[in-house]
Amino acid sequence: MASTSAFGLKDPSLLRHQGFINGQWVDAEDGKKFSVTNPATSEELGQVADLGLAQTKQAIEAASVAFKTWGKTTAKERHDLLMKFYHLMQEHHEDLSRLITLENGKPLKEAKGENVYSSSFLEWFAGEAVRTYGETIPSASSSLRNVVIKQPIGVVSILTPWNFPSAMITRKLGAALAAGCTAVIKPPAETPYTCLALTELATRAGIPPGVINIVPTHSNISEVGREMCENPTVKKISFTGSTPVAKLLSKYAAGTLKKMSIEAGGNAPFIIFDDADIDAAVEGAIACKFRHTGQTCVCANRIYVQSSVYADFASKLAEKVAAFRVGNGFDEQTTHGPLIHDRAVEKVQKHIDDAVSRGAQLIHGGKRLDGKGSFFAPTILCDVPKDALVCTEETFGPLAALVKFETEDEVIKLANDTSVGLAGYFYSRDIGRVWRVAEALEVGMVGTNTGAISQAVIPFGGVKESGLGREGSKYGIEEYLNIKYIAFGGL
């Protein structure tokens, strides 16, 4: 296990190894801990308290008690606390970014980008807190007035993934706190340290005990997750992760009909039409496909290239990818870090082997890199058949699979031929086509002539089996509010 100093934090007290319930840092009741590994070195970073069912119930109870007062704070009070939290995230930018690189592996520059992105959710939702307007509705009766108010939904369960250890917390927690909700968070077992550091900062900002509760767990993940969805005190669930897990959690939540926000898997199409600016499309594909080494839900998964520009696009993409430097995220030369663990490596390899066995051409990369850590060579496959595994399921790794197409109609059908619909991208300079294709893609988010769409101000979310609800933007806070109608009669 690395020593505290090995984390290299300027403020070592940001390094927390325990759960957090009702304002107290706690060990697991049975003393159990789980190990957190640096994916770039395969070495243990530290051990974190492995909380179980009883402590999850305690955390929910603490959140319920805290809701009685937090839910009644003014919007301005919550705005001010969220802004303090935001400023603390900025003040501790270096340490928070360092923690992301240590436990997640992404290059430090990318981790810094995540910290900026992550804190922007707090700033955004601080602003939204004071704008949860109600409404009056013209009445059909002269003795009646109709008023609509918004109220916080209550205790929220938040379950987050490892690929954005910080931003997926603040995107949910920022909205929940702004609305007046209290939260129980289960951080991912791969990357709990960033969440725990954020909790320490939230406490320093003055967010009261019980408002944020953290239940790190590894060996008890099934029962903790189930309790967070089934417990009747919890009124809402926000989950980001895989579609199969989202379906399981939905089943648990159905017993008490909880409101759910789900951001599940994507299988994003990225289309290059023959009228596109090919150099721009290559840049966009690099940014979109290889962001965090391909480990984002909105990464391009299927790259469709029109036949007349196929060779040009493929060779320019290969030239750029050849310049990548894969390595430890703390090495300044590194452009791309490791995958999170060996299971992720195996999945990428499986998709490559499958496509090659069906006739795809391996142009670049194609295998795990030697040495410690879960590193995989950035890979390009050409002439990928439309029914290859990489076209039907999300790879979540550095594999650019190029598929040739002929017509607009054909590619729209291919793009939509999937059960999920999170993001979709295309490059074209024909304004008519831009509208047609943007409207035709069955996704929640479209990037036209850009491979980068993520911001706090946009409604992030998908259609089909990619999820329910939206995060970020003016819509994000609504997920944490109940609408109440009040009739004022007897006038």
Catalytic residues: 263
CB 39 within 8 A of CB 105: yes
Residue 393 CB, shortest distance to ligand SIN, in Å, is 16
Query: Looking at 125, 164, 310, 313, which residue binds ligand SIN (CB under 6 A)?
Result: 164
Q: What string of DSSP letters covers 201-214?
A: HHHHHTPPTTTEEE
* Residue 349 vs 454, nearer CB to ligand SIN: 454
**Can residue 420 be called a binding residue for ligand SIN (CB under 6 A)?**
no
Q: What is the DSSP letter of 294?
A: G
Q: Give the shortest CB-68-to-ligand SIN separation in angstroms.
A: 33
List the Cα angle 155/196/192 in 5-degree steps: 100
Establish if 297 lies at the interface with ligand SIN (CB under 6 A).
Answer: yes
Burial pattern 10-41, b for ≥16 Cβ within 10 A else e, equals: eeeebbbbbbbbbeebbbbeeebbbebbbbbb
The span of 22-30, 271-279, 294-302, 378-386 binding ligand SIN (CB under 6 A) equals 294-302
Q: How far apart are CA 43 and CA 58, in angstroms?
A: 33
Instruction: Please give the residues from 318 up to 357 whose contact with ligand SIN meets the rule CB under 6 A.
Output: none
Pick from 454, 458, 475, 478: which binds ligand SIN (CB under 6 A)? 454
Residue nearer to ligand SIN on the CB measure, 231 or 240: 240
Interface residue with ligand SIN among 118, 163, 267, 301 (CB under 6 A) is 163
Q: Give the nearest distance from C-beta 141 to ligand SIN in angstroms.
A: 47
Strand, helix or coil for residue 370: coil
- Reading the block at residue 344, the tokens are 């992720």
Q: How far is the CB of 163 from ligand SIN (least distance, A)?
A: 5
Residue nearest to ligand SIN (CB): 454
**Length of the chain as a residue count:** 491
Distance CA 377, CA 403 (A): 20
Cβ 160 to ligand SIN, closest distance in Å?
9
Our finding on whether 480 is near ligand SIN (CB under 6 A) is no
DSSP run (H or E) holding 270: strand 268-272
Among positions 227-246, residues that touch ligand SIN (CB under 6 A) are 240
Q: Write the burial class of residue 162 (CB in 10 Å: 0-12 exposed, 13-18 middle, 19+ buried).
A: buried
Report which of 425, 419, 468 is spatially closest to residue 445, judged by C-alpha positions.
Answer: 425
Among 212, 214, 264, 298, binds ligand SIN (CB under 6 A): 298
The two tokens of residue 402 are: 């190029």
Span from 60-68, 209-217, 292-300, 407-415 in contact with ligand SIN (CB under 6 A): 292-300
What is the C-alpha to C-alpha distance for residues 289 and 382, in angstroms, rounded to an integer? 15
111 binds ligand SIN (CB under 6 A): no
Tokens of 244: 């199969």
Q: Report if residue 296 touches ligand SIN, rule: CB under 6 A.
A: yes
Task: Report the C-alpha gap between 175 and 107 in whole angstroms.
Answer: 28
Least Å from the CB of residue 117 to ligand SIN: 7
Residues forming the site for ligand SIN (CB under 6 A) = 163-164, 167, 240, 263, 296-298, 454
